Amino acid sequence: MIHFRQPFLQNKMPNPIFERLFSAAWLTGVRSLSCDWALTTHRFLGISLLMTIATIAQSQDSEETYTSQSYAEITRLGEAIIENTREHPLSRDYIGNQLNCTSCHLENGRHPMAASFIGIATAYPAWSPREKRVITLQDRVLNCFMRSQNGTRPPVGSKLAIAITAYITSLSEGQPIKVNRDKPLGPNHMPTLEPPKDAPSIRRGRTLYAEHCASCHAADGLGGNEGPPVWGPQSYNDGAGLSRVSKLASYLKVAMPLDDPHLSDQEAFDLAAFVNSHPRPKFNLKKMLPTQEKMGEYNGDR
Ligand code: HEC
Ligand code: HEC
């Protein structure tokens, strides 16, 4: 187990009162060196007094600003990473496609239905059938980097992991804890669509895609200015939740077309079958897990 430095301490802003008093004391001291000795003694007493006031001022001030400011700062950082995951300096090295967390978790996870982050901190630690053990919210966040983001798992306890988890947790304020004994999903997870009457049809899906989706995600599925890729080398890999037809159908039902989801269950399944019939990156746990020294703890079998 590796211990990482807590980001809160590194981020601490200089205390303005302390700085002002310290420079006053310092200037007095510097000038005193060029003066006569009697004055110097006097000045040093002055310095000690100022330093004492400064120390008291700092300890009182930091008690307040430390907790309030740095909590807000770290959750803002978490949201910024969710919004711009593939370019943010803290996350870009762990991303292997053109997606951000918010590409699927719409509105930075604040959308009430499209893979919502609202309330999910109440469900963790939770049992995960995939890893066959109980995992934390942080594990759940980091595992997304290997699948939906087709990248590598950032270290447990890293600044990015704490920031994202803190932001997500802030969206659960005031909600009651739900003990989650069967699956790692929060109280607002997407309802799973029942398989429709007719088996999902790639052929029908192709027509629906041209009609409802290609304007934003491009006819070749590789994305463009209006929407991210939905298949191909820059998309989610075949270990991601959305690579399963039923999960993608459940997602499309509540999320797409963007701002106007209106698909019938049958259409959602047909589209999901069509989208997932295209090639996408392969999930490979061995490649996506970092070396033991860089990992912290991976809550699963290697
Ligand atoms: C390709 C789409 C996609 C991307 C990109 C993606 N996710 Fe997800 N994620 C999902 C889906 C789908 C679920 C399952 C949601 C459900 O069933 O309600 C999920 C589930 C989760 C959960 C568990 C939700 C719960 O209800 O307990 C967390 C936490 C999470 N993702 C975090 C992230 C983070 C952080 C990122 C960015 C690093 C990310 N995801 C990127 C699609 C994605
Ligand atoms: C008006 C443009 C628009 C239309 C139409 C649209 N989408 Fe999207 N879609 C987006 C945008 C934009 C995102 C990313 C959301 C964000 O970044 O806020 C997205 C995200 C997605 C995602 C998750 C991220 C990814 O790229 O894998 C999937 C899957 C998806 N759309 C599939 C579809 C399908 C299927 C249709 C047709 C039913 C469709 N979309 C229609 C704009 C659109």
Expressed in angstroms and rounded, the spacing between residue 268 Cα and the centre of ligand 2 is 13
Torsion of CA 160, 250, 281, 92, to 10 degrees: -20
Full DSSP string of 110-141 = TSSSSS--TTGGGG-SEEETTTTEEE-HHHHH
> Among 99, 213, 248, which is best to mutate for testing ligand 2, by the most ligand atoms less than 8 A from CB?
213
For the entire predicted model, the pTM comes to 0.82
The pLDDT, as a whole number, for residue 69 is: 56
pLDDT digit string, tens, across residues 192-238: 999 999 999 999 999 999 999 999 999 999 999 999 999 999 999 99
Rounded CA separation 273/291 (Å): 36
The ligand 1 atom nearest the CA atom of 149: 5
Query: H helices of 34-135, where?
Result: 37-83, 101-104
The pLDDT, as a whole number, for residue 293 is: 82
pLDDT digit string, tens, across residues 228-272: 999 999 999 999 999 999 999 999 999 999 999 999 999 999 999
Task: Name residue 198's beta-bridge partners.
Answer: none
Show Cβ contacts of residue 174 under 8 Å, excluding neighbours closer than 6 positions: none
Query: Does residue 125 contact residue 260 with C-beta atoms inside 8 Å?
Result: no
Rounded CA separation 40/97 (Å): 65
> Among 217, 263, 264, 266, which is best to mutate for testing ligand 2, by the most ligand atoms less than 8 A from CB?
217
Q: Is 210 in the pocket of ligand 2 (CB under 6 A)?
A: no
The b/e string for 73-98 (b: 16+ C-beta within 10 A; e otherwise) is: bbbebbbbbbbebbebebbeebbbbb
Share of the chain residues as helix, strand and coil, in percent rounded to the nearest 5 = 50, 0, 45
Q: What is the mean pLDDT of residues 26-39?
A: 37
Ligand that comes closest to the CA of residue 150? 1
Q: Say which residue, 8 or 48, is predicted with more confidence.
A: 48
Provide the residue type at 36 as one letter.
Answer: D
- Please enumerate, as own/partner, the contacts of 56-59 that have beta carbons within 8 Å and a separation of 24 or more: 57/15, 57/17, 57/18, 57/21, 58/15, 58/17, 58/18
Which helix (H) or strand (E) segment holds residue 216: the answer is helix 214-217
